[in-house]
Structure 1
Amino acid sequence: MHRRHFIAATLACAAAPLGVLAQGSYPSKPITLIVPFSAGGAGTELARAAMNAASPTLGQPIIVDNRPGAGGNIAVVAAAKAPPDGYTLLLGHISPMVINPHTYSQLPVDPMKELAPIGLISGGPQILVVHPSVSARNLQELIAYAKANPGKLNYASAGSGGLSHVAMELLMSKAGTQMVHVPYKGAVPAMQDLLTGRVQVMVESLPQLLPYVKDGRLRAIAVTSDKRSVYIPEVPTAAESGLPDYVLSSWLSIWAPAKTPIEVRRKIKDALDQAMASKAYTDFLAQSFGTKAPPMTMEEFARFAQSEYERWGKVVRDAHIRAD
């Protein structure tokens, strides 16, 4: 009897999914976070700060693997095709996760189906700025100038189909005006031409543009949050300036391959929650003009991501935006 019981137990273990057997000891080796940005950029540094804060809870180092290119699609594909064991994660940015599926005619993977949402690590407003050569000092004046001078204002984006592009298309649709889109290969070259006045308008993340507003090289027109930013409280929101529905944020989040066991994802989420509350991460956000993400459960974040997917899909369809 004992022999038969032993053989039966052995066969049962052999038949069990490897992921289930591994969950109790997860993680037992370093974890890789695939990041869709270049090394040294603001997004990479924020991801590194969050992972450094989460690592002690998990008991393993989290290695940042930069995979920039194709509007974030390279990183998304790499993460989606990784083994679903919790040892490969993705830093999900709003553009590749919920905008690219609408702006690219063909993608190798569907991020909303082939990746599983875990949690937000940051979420902050965009800021609308102009070069000082533009006379407008507030949003209504900018809208009026654009209407009176069709084709004279050029706006920069970090690339066709990205957030800085679709955010301006949404602004123009709500304001009933048009400006000329000038796409660049990334935010850095776009900002360089903005600073020289070659292009005059841009919507981009607050941490990216705020230093240039502070030193007077750009003029802030409005922030896209529902409340004024603590980093630049003198600048009104777009809602205060006459566009009540123009509220959006640029968020970063953590995702895993879709079939990653739920128990493993919950361990990662618990570590993220502790990291978000840590003094080290809070201090990093304050130093880099970042904004702490609103607290959400894993299920709440999944619903938020789906709502963002639907919202930006409509903007893309209405404006006929294509990235390829």
Structure 2
Amino acid sequence: MIDQRRRVLTLGAMALPLATAMFPVRAADKFPSRPIRIIVPLAPGGSADTVCRLLGNGLTKILGQPVIVENRPGAGGLTGLSEVARSAPDGYTLGYSLAGALTVAPHIARKMPYDPFKDLVPVSQVIGVPEIIVVNPRTGIKTLGELVSYAKANPGKLNFGSAGNATIPHLAGELFKRVAGVEMVHVPYRGSGPALNDLLAGQVQVMVSGITLVRSHIEAGRLTGLAVAGPRRVDQLPNLPTTAEAGVPAMQVSNWHGLVAPAGLPPALLDGLHHGIAKAMALPEVKDRIDSEGAEIVASSSAEFGAFLKKESDKWGGLVKELGIQWD
């Protein structure tokens, strides 16, 4: 995983001279000439807010203008991103989002205030957050195979917690039920924190959660990690197998963060922002912090992020339609 991240960051850094050449001289001279605003459509203090502020500090150094992070929570991220969609496509207003508001909400919201594929343009997937399948140690379950076997033998006796209906942890749990052929009861909470607290207390037994939330509890023995729901192991928990290694290869989930802009952003500005992001994420103070949390730096291009968004939207859209999942 480290080699891949280094390769992505190295390629991003090597591309910077090319990015400068791609900018028309007039655009490069003028942008940015004033502060850039990044809207986080979530409350302060969460993982998206934290990483966005790290990115903002890095971009301030790279671009030479202040990057201001503003929190606009509400309606599962729709409030903040609708403000981004209504903004001028000049590169000075951007949106920083988790997966839900871009790839899940369009399939479950009664009325969307924006179309993520028409009113917004992808700038870059910033990071990926590996999801970990964890259980309370009092279950006695120590492997993913044991979880599947127990759940099959005891349908409906295990509860899995999530951050709320239609959140990625909820959909990840439903995906696991489907691909593993098991039955568990979903218990939604208002946020990952309360769900984690009840998992630690044994009120729920299972959870699919980002590594940044559960890693310390796994290391301390308060939770048992069963598998990484991704294509490779993570360096911070090297003994934890992937779901493929553990016998459930179709269980693949990542709760990623990405940057978007209003539709109509000129290609030169889009390319310049992407390469600025790649260089900002390669700064030691940013990269080391992201690595320490167990997240993966991606810094993909607009085209790569756009293709990824389409794939994610198709996956989650099919699942929520099949299961009839709705927002509270």
TM-score normalized by the length of structure 1:
0.89
Q: Give the SS at the match of 1:250.
A: coil
Corresponding position of 1:5: none
Corresponding position of 2:319: 315
- Is contact 1:115–1:255 with CA below 8 Å preserved after alignment? yes
Corresponding position of 2:121: 116
- Residue 136 of structure 1 aligns with an amino acid whose one-letter code is I
Asked whether 1:211 is paired with 2:216, we answer yes
Corresponding position of 2:6: none
2: CA distance between counterparts of 1:301 and 1:322? 26
Asked whether 1:296 is paired with 2:300, we answer yes
Q: List per-residue Cα deviations over 1:115-169 (Å, max 9, x = no partner).
A: 1001121113100111112121111111111122222111111110110011111
- What is the aligned length? 304
Q: State the Cα distance separating 1:112 from its structure 2 match.
A: 2.2
Q: State the Cα distance separating 1:71 from its structure 2 match.
A: 1.8
Q: List per-residue Cα deviations over 1:30-60 (Å, max 9, x = no partner).
A: 1111112321222211111112112222211
Q: State the Cα distance separating 1:310 from its structure 2 match.
A: 1.3
TM-score normalized by the length of structure 2:
0.88
Corresponding position of 1:16: none
Unmatched runs of 5 consecutive residues or more in structure 2 = 1-25
Which of 149, 160, 168 aligns to 2:165? It is 160
Q: List per-residue Cα deviations over 1:77-127 (Å, max 9, x = no partner).
A: 121122222111001211111111112232221222211001121113100
Q: State the Cα distance separating 1:22 from its structure 2 match.
A: 7.0
Which of 203, 207, 232 aligns to 1:202? It is 207
Q: State the Cα distance separating 1:319 from its structure 2 match.
A: 2.1
Task: Tell me which moved more, 195-204 or 295-304.
Answer: 295-304
- Is contact 1:213–1:219 with CA below 8 Å preserved after alignment? yes
2: CA distance between counterparts of 1:278 and 1:41? 22
2: CA distance between counterparts of 1:242 and 1:205? 20
Which structure 2 residues correspond to residues 93-108 of structure 1 after superposition, within 5 A?
93-108=98-113
2: CA distance between counterparts of 1:119 and 1:93? 12
Which of 183, 191, 197 aligns to 1:192? It is 197
Q: State the Cα distance separating 1:24 from its structure 2 match.
A: 4.7
Q: State the Cα distance separating 1:186 from its structure 2 match.
A: 0.9
1: CA distance between counterparts of 2:27 and 2:291? 38
Task: Tell me which moved more, 214-223 or 39-48.
Answer: 39-48
- Residue 266 of structure 1 aligns with an amino acid whose one-letter code is D
2: CA distance between counterparts of 1:207 and 1:70? 24
Q: Give the SS at the match of 2:225.
A: strand
Corresponding position of 1:173: 178
1: CA distance between counterparts of 2:41 and 2:137? 32
Which structure 2 residues correspond to residues 1-40 of structure 1 after superposition, within 5 A?
24-40=29-45
Asked whether 1:239 is paired with 2:244, we answer yes
Corresponding position of 1:285: 290
Identity of aligned residues (%): 39
2: CA distance between counterparts of 1:143 and 1:299? 38
Unmatched runs of 5 consecutive residues or more in structure 1 = 1-20
Task: Tell me which moved more, 125-134 or 307-316.
Answer: 307-316
Asked whether 1:57 is paired with 2:62, we answer yes
- Residue 305 of structure 1 aligns with an amino acid whose one-letter code is L
- Is contact 2:234–2:294 with CA below 8 Å preserved after alignment? no
Asked whether 1:272 is paired with 2:245, we answer no
Q: List per-residue Cα deviations over 1:194-223 (Å, max 9, x = no partner).
A: 111111111111111111111111111111
Corresponding position of 2:309: 305
Two-structure CA RMSD over aligned residues (Å): 1.7
- Is contact 2:274–2:300 with CA below 8 Å preserved after alignment? no
